[in-house]
Amino acid sequence: MNQQKELSFLEEAMENISAKAREFGLDFYDIFFEICPADIIYTFGAYGMPTRFSHWTFGKAYHKMKTQYDYNLGRIYEMVINSDPCYAFLLEGNSLLQNKLIMAHVIAHCDFFKNNIYFNNTSRAMVESMAAAANRFREYEFKYGRAKVESFIDAAIALQEHVEPRRLVKKSPKKAEAPKYECRHRKKETPYDDLWSLDEQGLFECNTCAYPRKFPPEPDKDLMLFITQNSVELEDWQQDIMSVIRQEMLYFWPQMETKIMNEGWASYWHLRIMREVELDEADTIEFAKMHSGIIQTSRTRLNPYSLGLRIFEDIEKRWETPTEEEREKYGRPGGEGKQKIFEVRAMENDSSFLRNYLTKELVNDMDLYLFKKMGYDWKVSQKEWEKVRDGLVSSLTNCGYPHIVVEDGDFNKRGELYLKHYFEGDELDVFYLEKTLPHVFTLWGKTVHLETRLDNKQVLFSHNGEKGSKKFL
């Protein structure tokens, strides 16, 4: 089949699949498809976007992914960008049937990007923003030297996951706040000023005024923003780099916290749409093979396509045809399966999705379990369904990254940075911690401390720019 004829078939298939998706109620942005050779699409996959600043970590990711492709150990069939309009890239060499499945899959991704609440605050013009940032980074390399810029990006990337995506959510006002006092040793306005504070005499001393202002007033989870705004060491170009990396992480964060839902939703709809598309016998068998490969499970890791698909199908079944017990206990009238899955798609993320909809029957049917290393061997540690569910939810909290906050930005009254790890059962990787603290020092410019828990004891790790230290609290 010549290229022009193949493109004609693809355009016709896209029209049919888009029309069928809209019949099902999917609501998505316009989509532009491009067919790319393996080198290009794997470059996009390594960078995460078609346009982004250059860094050695992306090259490392590209080498790994491309090697897997060359040895037939892994394959990227497509890549879709969360933007308006959406951009999707198809791998050159895909068959027409593969591209039909991918188009249906991509349409569902775009529907998810547009309608899930966690994507509401993401920029839909991030492709253009990243291209502009990449140009500025190249200018910095020319002006300050590539080694200096890359070294600083190393430090910024070491902290890039420590952002607060819910920063715009307003907190409820506190019921009562401590009274605000000022130093009584300020310059007097009249000769009688000290008479007004006789009842507070002795409460204040110069330089140690009671109730000193805490910095920050409350623990701050957004390390990237706090350092960008408060580090006295950062120059303008370094603040720009920090800001760009933070904004890019905020763009990717919703995709990270909805991976299971997003892939499950896309798999659900490519399955439904392809069943409605006219296929001959050979294509039907080939599609079944492709779909089974997508949802194939593993003994050592979760397949988000499979898990998400099974949960969405189970939700649809339980709300469409509830049992008598469910009708009486939950008041489900039935016939609401489609409405319910669209509601879930709009309102949940992976943590709430699993907590609310991963049932005992699904855990047992999919043979889900938790495992951990015991001695020199990896062994199954838990098969009780509630503990399996809670363990999975716990692993997804904060996208799997440790919860670390800025506790004090002026520790010891010397401008030192005091960080605190909110221990939730999982200890920090000490090797990684000790390698990361020097990067934090680079960004802050003064001694940095991190409090965490090891072996049920509070431990303080510190780094002063020359060496690290550890002490038990």
- CA proximity to 441, closest of 168, 236, 154, 16: 154
Task: Write down the pTM of the prediction.
Answer: 0.88
Cα angle at 52 between 265 and 132, to 5 degrees? 115
The DSSP H or E segment spanning 46 is helix 38-47
CA distance 156 to 154: 6
- Give the pLDDT of residue 32: 93
CA distance 80 to 87: 6
Instruction: Name residue, tokens 């609401």.
Output: 336
Name the 3-class secondary structure at 230. helix
Q: How far is CA 70 from CA 34, 42, 65, in A?
A: 22, 11, 9
Helix, strand, coil shares of the chain, percent, nearest 5, are 55, 15, 35
Give residues with Cβ within 8 angstroms of 78, minimum separation 6: 88, 89, 90, 91, 102, 105, 106
| Domain residue ranges of the chain, discontinuous segments joined by + | 3-116+258-292, 298-398
- Give the pLDDT of residue 351: 96
Q: How far is CA 335 from CA 317, 332, 341, 358, in A?
A: 9, 9, 12, 21
- Give the pLDDT of residue 191: 57
CA distance 219 to 411: 13
> Which amino acid type is present at position 197?
S
- Give the pLDDT of residue 194: 55
CB burial of 324-361 (b: ≥16 within 10 Å; e: otherwise) equals eeeeeeeebeeeebeebbbebbeebbbbebbeebbeee
Tens of each residue's pLDDT in the chain, 473 residues: 577 887 888 899 899 999 999 999 999 999 999 999 989 999 999 999 998 999 999 999 999 999 988 888 877 888 899 999 999 999 888 888 999 999 999 999 999 999 999 999 899 899 999 999 999 999 999 999 999 999 999 999 999 999 999 876 656 555 444 444 444 444 445 555 555 555 544 444 455 444 457 889 999 999 999 999 999 999 999 999 999 999 999 999 999 999 999 999 999 999 999 999 888 899 999 999 999 999 998 888 899 999 999 999 999 999 999 999 989 988 899 999 999 999 999 999 999 999 999 999 999 999 999 988 888 888 889 999 999 999 999 999 999 999 999 999 999 899 999 999 999 888 999 999 999 999 999 999 999 999 999 999 999 999 999 999 999 98
> Which amino acid type is present at position 174?
K
CB burial of 75-96 (b: ≥16 within 10 Å; e: otherwise) equals ebbbbbbbbeebbbbbbeebee
Name the 3-class secondary structure at 215. coil
CA distance 430 to 448: 16
Q: Pull the structure tokens for residue 463.
A: 């780094």
DSSP string computed for 427-462? ---HHHHHHHHHHHHHHH-S-EEEEEEETTEEEEEE
Q: Residue 370's beta-bridge partner residues?
A: 382
Instruction: Name residue, tokens 């394959």.
Output: 75
